[in-house]
A and B are shown apart, each in its own frame.
Chain A
């Protein structure tokens, strides 16, 4: 197999890696915000279950969560999940939403109460205060921890292979079982390039928000 052919194979897997990455973010970024609101709710009936969910999700391996979501509906409810890929996306989205929610919560709670009050005395609504005053300050503060988490996600996508969703690393493993070892190591180049691009993007975002101090 030529270098180019190997890369065509790896590229196939990498497309899945990208898809897992993108779909996880699309679902978990907003879901995390909802969960963070829930975890800060003044209603115990909402706050407690949400906090238990966060505890469970952050307290168990993502690998285990993927397996639970893939196998348990079929074993217990006799309603097997339609596709391996969907199981992966559900597990990843839920897992990352919980991590993001804690970062959001930290960011939101770090904004001084006086910023809310300044908005209130100007007659702004709660939504206006959140979206027009608080949110950008929160975003500025959480970019560093969020970039950390998102970079971790790039590498976590490799966990999808445990229920045989063929992403980049699995593709290389398939080649390895046919006696070709070097592509396994070569996947590192893909991950590094991907993380490199993301790092540049986060640096850019940080720069864009340097125009104010908060």
Chain B
């Protein structure tokens, strides 16, 4: 069954139509890479899925149930949007770690805050927090940064900061993890460690949406590729279909440009 179905997502900024009827679906454990030239709407699409932008039209179906309908947006209050959001994790291009917290605190903070309203926390505070911390350490281990747990963001390299940002997103146990060009802000020699973490997540069947300009990486990791141009889905298929036999000239030109780099 599809974990996620995005149906006809449209978004305008003023009169500019940035997304037009974007639809796609994800099955459990699937990795979808989103490609497209600068300004084609990739970031906006991810931001709509995380409700950082309000889509003008479209529906989001989660595990067969309607999660979000743009037509009903005004009926959702802050709390409802927050809950919907938690199905998605978001890893920003620029990491956006919280500077005043250590790597570990960055990872567990939101979970701790969310836990405070749960019955488990009311029943046994200490145990709930310990459990969150244990899980946080596990995630740090998983991304290979448990030795940096007490480092502040400024003490970490860009690659390490991005890995912590991934850990922070994972800690909320999202159904779908979204990456917006996770390596674009990094020096070339640091992209490898971040891609490795994402690859290991793919191997563990994490459901992911990855906006990237790393063509080789997309080909290796993605099960499906979606190519966008001017807010429209131009290609949608397996890496072989999209990258080896693109149906439009625009896609061909785009691929040539980026693969040459």
Q: Which A residues are within 8 Å of any B CB, using their own CB?
A: 112, 114-115, 117-126, 128, 132-133, 136-137, 140, 211-214
| A212 and B100 within 8 A (CB) | yes
What is the count of residue pairs linking A and B with beta-carbon distances less than 8 angstroms? 67
Most buried by A among B94, B97, B98: B98
Please list 30 pairs of residues, one from A and one from B, whose beta carbons are closer than 8 Å in the complex, sorted by A's number: A112-B96, A114-B92, A114-B94, A117-B52, A117-B92, A119-B110, A120-B50, A120-B85, A121-B50, A121-B85, A121-B88, A121-B89, A121-B90, A122-B110, A122-B169, A122-B172, A123-B114, A123-B172, A124-B110, A124-B114, A125-B78, A125-B82, A125-B113, A126-B78, A132-B113, A136-B100, A137-B99, A212-B99, A213-B99, A213-B152
Q: Which residues of chain A have C-beta atoms less than 8 A from B90's C-beta? A: 121
Q: Which residues of chain B have C-beta atoms less than 8 A from A132's C-beta? A: 109, 113
| Distance in angstroms between the alpha carbons of A119 and B172 in the assembled complex | 12
The answer to whether B168 has its CB under 8 Å from any CB of chain A is yes
| A133 and B85 within 8 A (CB) | no
| B154 and A213 within 8 A (CB) | yes
Q: Which residues of chain B have C-beta atoms less than 8 A from A121's C-beta? A: 50, 52, 85, 88-90, 169
| A118 and B50 within 8 A (CB) | no
Task: Give the dominant DSSP class at A's interface.
Answer: helix
The answer to whether B132 has its CB under 8 Å from any CB of chain A is no
Cβ contacts B54-98/A at 8 Å (1 or 0 each): 000000000000000000000000100011011011101010111
Contact of A214 among B52, B85, B100, B169 (CB under 8 A): B100
Assuming the contacts A117-B92, A212-B154, asked whether A123 and B98 have C-beta atoms less than 8 A apart, the reply is no
In the complex, the chain A residue whose C-beta lies closest to that of B94 is A114
Contacts A123-B86, A211-B100, A212-B154 aside, 7 further interface pairs with beta carbons under 8 A come to A115-B96, A118-B92, A118-B98, A121-B90, A122-B110, A126-B78, A137-B99
Q: Which residues of chain B have C-beta atoms less than 8 A from A214's C-beta? A: 99-100
Assuming the contacts A119-B110, A125-B78, A211-B152, asked whether A137 and B96 have C-beta atoms less than 8 A apart, the reply is no
In the complex, the chain B residue whose C-beta lies closest to that of A118 is B96
| Distance in angstroms between the alpha carbons of A84 and B87 in the assembled complex | 60
Q: Which residues of chain A have C-beta atoms less than 8 A from B101's C-beta? A: 212
